[in-house]
Amino acid sequence: MLRKSIRYKVLQEATVESSLETLLEELHYLDRSEDIETTLLIFPFHFADFEDYLDLVGMAEDLSSEQGYDGIYQIASFHPEYCFEGAKEKDPANYTNRSPYPMLHILREDGISKALEHYIDPEGIPERNIAFAQKKGLEYMQLLRAVCLEVRN
């Protein structure tokens, strides 16, 4: 944060088409702005339905790939109703990808690689996050998210 390397783009009005256009604009912006490490595209009033949101994520990943960005940028997804495939809705692990609003997180892959150099067993990070969330339990994870929602209001 101190390096001001995180860019936030809030889309007050968003359609699938305008969201994908904005994604492409952000990829080009990141190409020109090496000091920016990551961009969050935030949709506070759109894509509330998780299935519709997943469709957007798939299209965003396809667009990124079609534009030649494989290996350069990665798109991570966060949503208020995030549910991992095969997981039960009330599995605390889902909260590792839940956010106040639907959003797409564009990350530089080289930045991810550099950050992971400092971790023992980086491949195990998702499993450790899931185990942590499940150990803490649903009530704790719900409370943690509720505090985040209170802070934003």
Average pLDDT over residues 107-117: 88
Question: 20-79: per-residue pLDDT in tens?
Answer: 999 999 999 999 999 999 999 999 999 999 999 999 999 999 999 999 999 999 999 999
Number of domains in the chain: 1
Please tell me the distance from the alpha carbon of residue 14 to that of residue 37, in angstroms, as a whole number.
24
CA-CA distance, 47 to 49, in Å (whole number)?
Answer: 5
Which tokens go with 31? 């190409």
Q: What is the dihedral of CA 83, 87, 91, 94, to 10 degrees?
A: -30
Q: Is the pLDDT of residue 153 over 70?
A: no
Q: Does residue 1 form part of some domain? A: no
Q: Confirm whether pTM is higher than 0.85.
A: yes
- 76 with 60: CB under 8 angstroms? no
Closest C-alpha among 25, 32, 41, 35 to residue 111: 35
Q: Is residue 118 part of a domain?
A: yes
Asked, for residue 37, whether it belongs to a domain, the answer is: yes
